[in-house]
Amino acid sequence: MRAKLFFLCACLLAGSLGGYAISTQRARTQAHVVYLKIAPIDPRALLSGDYMELSYDFENLSRPWERKESLTLYADKNGVVHVNGTGKPLTLRTHFMRYRLPHQFYFQEGQGKKYENAAYAKAAVLSNGSILLLGLTDENLNVL
């Protein structure tokens, strides 16, 4: 009896994790892709590999303690995000005086030179408003 109960619980857990993975992939494919201009990036090394600390150009417009609860940016027809202008609005919320954006980009160890000339962060805006980092691009929006 215990073995059957354990097997049932394991199947339910595997099914729920699989369903979550499928729904996340579906949300990612249906998400609106935008390009966020990044400010100077800071490469660092961890024990588990390399990563870059990202900051975005619009974050430098105000001091952290002056930030409002949200910031509205606008994506043009190519998906490039600007502070002013027209286009599809993108609202970013703050959390502990920092915008709710991915600020680390992890990559394989030894690949730091490849990402030194990155100009934009390619991101997907999910239906719930959260932003998922897809990669880094150069000035011509080519994925590195």
Q: What confidence tens digit (pLDDT) does each residue in 55-93 have?
A: 888 777 666 556 677 778 888 888 888 888 777 888 887
- Give the whole-angstrom CA distance, residue 44 versus residue 28: 28
Residue 118 is predicted with a pLDDT of 84
Strand order in the sheet with 98-99: 81-82, 70-75, 88-95, 98-99
Looking at residue 10, its pLDDT comes to 93
pLDDT confidence of residue 41: 64
pLDDT 10s digits, 14-53: 999 999 889 888 887 888 888 888 876 666 655 556 778 8
**What is the spatial distance between Cα 18 and Cα 16, in angstroms, rounded to a whole number?**
5
What residue ranges do the domains of the chain occupy? 1-30, 31-137
Give the CA distances from residue 122 to residues 9, 41, 102, in Å, rounded to whole numbers and listed in that order: 39, 15, 11
